[in-house]
Structure 1
Amino acid sequence: MIGPFAFFSDTANLVTIGVLYAVNILIVIVTLFTIGHNRRPMTSVAWLLAIALIPYVGLLLFLLFGTNHLPKFRRRRQAEFEQILRSATEQLRNEVGLTPIPEQLRPISQLAENLTAIPHLSGNRLEIKTSYDETIDAMAAEIDRAQDYVHVIFYAMGYDEVTEGFFDALERAVRRGVTVRVLYDQVGSFRYPGYRRLKRRLDAIGCEWHRLYSIWPWESGWQRIDLRNHRKLVVVDGRVAWMGSQNLIARDYHRKPNRQHGQMLWQDLMLRVAGPMALGVDAVFRSDWYVETGHLAEDGEDPTTLEFADLDASDRAAGHEVELHDCQLVPSGPGYEHENNLRLFAQLLYQARERVVIASPYFAPDDSMRYAITTAVQRGVEVHLHVSEVGDQLFTQHAQQSYYEELLRVGVHVWLYRAPYILHSKHMTVDGEVSMVGSSNMDMRSFTLNAEMMLIVYGQRFAERMAWVEHFYRVHSRKLTLDEWLARPRMHVAFDDLCRLTSVVQ
């Protein structure tokens, strides 16, 4: 600009810039004294750096992703249902009674019950399922035996040639007069091809269905948009439940082949739970249903009157031995005050005396979990970690790799499950006497942001069956050595460390 107004224009620009900087400094000062409230120090520092170094954009990111709290109405509903669950648990305890568990495992059981209101229950028959397509077919066959209701939750749900039979079974159930309720995570499902076809199929079935954690504020309230419901479960009549790591979608997740490794395929683990703990899985569904819809799913029989012995009648008649297990369910997520799965993982690690085996596709723990693992090794516990050789998520995989050197140096045995498979199972076995199986990864997302569900199984007999699964992993894996890992190019190390920084901004 030329002329006498140029001076005033330049002055106005300087004033505007000065005001913006002053406001940003004020924002940094205010957040400096508030952002650390009930938050991990490292997370607070990371957010403060983002707000200070990326003016205004950092604040916007914090407002979108800086808290894992659900809206007030969701937290209120969660608290209301937890009170209902505690009352039902007391009734079940008084009517059915609880069997004792070994002395060394009582702290785990008591911690889990204090966190979730769900006690351990005996008399559960468990089947381990690791064949992907066959598991979906088996769940469909289970639905065909439903008489009263079917409840379904999956993080990623797709309607395709692999899952078609499952949805056909749901439709047959509705036609028989069975109540069918379906929940799926919105973000976990809409990113895969055929999402609109999935919704049309659910409408055609005639079941009740809802999206979980909708990203639209007018549907779910104002909340962090990357909060997710990561659970996978099917419940039939409150007598049988399926749970674990597998989603309801084709094994390749409809993804194009990778140039280097070809078609990536997921290796999962599901449990069929027949017996009283199926009621626990059903309670988790009903909690999610109530929080999402505001309506209680009140059908089903009084849990204290259910008879489960008939589930084993055919095997007993044939002279087969029936293994029954003590189990305890551990739901976790942003609706709970405490990080339930993190606390249980850490407690099990600190109680370990001889051997720990962990399987997790996404491994990016916080300091408490790192110390629990490395301390276990330093006091003489043998720790095996099963992870994938390649990952499906770039930044998460590199963040995970940044922990390998520390683990290898202390003596953790790191096993890389060979491509093109992604080891998606999530479980931990401790001392051959207690196991945890379910949907939770060992990363900060699963500890703080995702609604997850793990099953604790007490006893050596189930741990022995899990040992065969772990042996299968090792046969299809290669063992990582410290020398191999230290020989990586420096640029790879730097990128791993950079990605690790993002894992603490939770």
Structure 2
Amino acid sequence: MTTGYFVGALLTAAHVLIVIITAVFVAANRRPSSAIAWVLAIVFIPFLGALAFLLVGIGRLPRDRREKQAQINRLMHERTPGLDAVGHREEWPDWLSSLVRLNVNLGSLPMVGGNRVALLPDYIGSITAMIEAIDTAVDYVHVEFYILVHDQTTAPFFDALARATARGVSVRVLSDYVTGLQFPRRAETRQILADMGAEWMPMLPLRPFSGHWQRPDMRNHRKLVVVDGAIGFTGSQNLIDSTYLKPGNIRRGLHWHELMMRVEGPLVRELDAVFVTDWFSESGHLLELDTTPVVIGSDPDLVDAQVIPSGPSFENENNLKLFVALIHKAERRISITSPYFVPDESALLAIVTAAARGVEVELFASEVADQTLVYHAQRSYYEALLRAGVKIYLYRSPTVLHSKHFSVDEDVAIIGSSNMDIRSFSLNMEVSVMVQGRDFVSALRRVEDDYRAASIQLDPSEWMNRPWRQKIPDNLARLTSSLQ
């Protein structure tokens, strides 16, 4: 046996051993499709594939952050009995109780009654509503946004925060660290908050040399405002101009369309519990949770609702489990609005199965998008949906439909920060609200009617026969969605 042959055999054996070890390590607690994609990447481009896996292949937050989440969860379960009082249990669909229990087991927050909820589909109107609420604050204002920028559009919001601090109100602000690096006026925004006396903390900062290693692409994608535990806001909108201040967007005339909700009632304290969790995670200071008794009013317009926090600080994909369960429960109609629609296998199967069961299913997305890779990846799913009978509406350019919500039959709706995509299911910290109430769902249907009127409906035959030069980038981009 020659030396060259021996060395070659040894290298081959070493390569096979590395592949086996890699496959076992990568596949642990991971979707098969994701594991296969990572293994192939490491096998065919060993150095770059391994480096990419080490950077973005591990989908959990550091232990101390997960322990803080677990601590908050225990405190939430131990709060004053009666916080889960609801007002319309007799109107719930038969299946809703099991989903409420699912959400409590996963996210620790109960379904609460006595809430007044209003939809805010106007970009400037929602900022105005938040300003009006902040101007009533006497104790505290909690602000948490994925993107938070002081600009010409948001300046009145910051002015309201300054007026609050001048009155002696405690103002605490959270915004995502890495995302903030991508937008202008970051230093100016922080200085304005400091000058007014507000406390600001970055969410998920990168501190690799301080023993806090985490995936750099994990983001806190939540958006919420809480005023004195009495008024709350959440939804899809970031605190930035509707162009997102990007030169390319401005040249193309792009602007974002959002949906926020204004909440009064016991649900506000549940939204604040999400803020308290994130503030604790970033500052190490645990704010007091509201445990005062809940009083349910008799007004029939008050609704039952539940806050669903999700993200890599939890052991489960809370939002994915809820979304899939809801889709399977639908009997008549499902309307989904998601600007970034890149579902995992379970979500896609649930949707096409619902359509096959005779449920009327529709998806609202955008004709234009700001993220090229995601834009092409989501287009690769349209054929399967269209073949199943799903109606797809693309909101006309130059508006980017950024709202994130869906409704099931006439009874239940979800509104929040979560897209129907793998990133929102696995990597982003999200917050959603499940609302039970026919009047509320009807109001959301009217918003969806406006979307439909401003959209182009995809024709199945035209889509199936589109040129290959369009299909190729779509299919290639879809492959990247498994690298999670």
- The TM-score, its normalising length taken from structure 2, stands at 0.94
Superposed, 1:82-101 pairs within 5 Å as: 82-88=73-79, 90=81, 92-93=83-84, 100-101=89-90
Superposed, 1:202-281 pairs within 5 Å as: 202-218=193-209, 221-257=212-248, 262-281=252-271
| CA offset digits 1:257-315 (Å, max 9, x no partner) | 459x82111000000010000000000000111111211112x7x53247787xx9xxx
Q: 1:177 aligns with which of 165, 168, 177?
A: 168
Give the SS at the match of 1:297: coil
Show structure 1 runs of 4+ deviating over 6 A: 14-22, 306-309
| CA offset digits 1:69-127 (Å, max 9, x no partner) | 1101111111111111111164635xx67763523321221211121111111110011
Q: 1:60 aligns with which of 36, 51, 55?
A: 51
What is the identity, as a one-letter code, of the residue corresponding to 1:100?
Answer: R
Q: Tell me: CA distance 1:89–1:66, structure 2 relative to 1, closer, same or farther (3 Å).
A: farther
* Structure 2: unaligned runs, 5 residues or longer: none
* Structure 1: unaligned runs, 5 residues or longer: 1-10, 313-320
Quote the residue 2:407 is aligned against. Answer: 429
Quote the residue 2:433 is aligned against. Answer: 455
> Following the alignment from structure 1 to structure 2, what is the Cα–Cα distance between the partners of residues 89 and 288?
22
Whether 1:76 aligns to 2:77 is no
Superposed, 1:463-502 pairs within 5 Å as: 463-502=441-480
Contact 2:233/2:263 (<8 A) preserved: yes
Superposed, 1:355-504 pairs within 5 Å as: 355-504=333-482
What is the identity, as a one-letter code, of the residue corresponding to 2:319?
Answer: N
Whether 1:38 aligns to 2:16 is no
Contact 1:89/1:118 (<8 A) preserved: no
Q: 2:279 aligns with which of 259, 282, 289?
A: 289
Pairwise CA distance, 1:189: 2.0
Whether 1:323 aligns to 2:306 is no
> Following the alignment from structure 2 to structure 1, what is the Cα–Cα distance between the partners of residues 169 and 278?
20
Q: Tell me: CA distance 1:159–1:24, structure 2 relative to 1, closer, same or farther (3 Å).
A: farther
Quote the residue 2:327 is aligned against. Answer: 349
Higher mean C-alpha deviation, range 101-110 or range 491-500: 101-110
Pairwise CA distance, 1:20: 8.1
Contact 2:82/2:293 (<8 A) preserved: no
What is the identity, as a one-letter code, of the residue corresponding to 1:29?
Answer: I
Give the SS at the match of 2:95: helix
> Following the alignment from structure 2 to structure 1, what is the Cα–Cα distance between the partners of residues 419 and 315?
19
Give the SS at the match of 1:442: coil
Quote the residue 2:20 is aligned against. Answer: 29
Q: Tell me: CA distance 1:176–1:485, structure 2 relative to 1, closer, same or farther (3 Å).
A: same
> Following the alignment from structure 2 to structure 1, what is the Cα–Cα distance between the partners of residues 9 and 177?
43
Quote the residue 2:123 is aligned against. Answer: 132
- Bigger Rg, structure 1 or 2: 1
RMSD: 2.3
Pairwise CA distance, 1:130: 0.9
- The TM-score, its normalising length taken from structure 1, stands at 0.90
Whether 1:49 aligns to 2:59 is no
> Following the alignment from structure 1 to structure 2, what is the Cα–Cα distance between the partners of residues 272 and 429?
18
Q: 1:118 aligns with which of 105, 109, 116?
A: 109
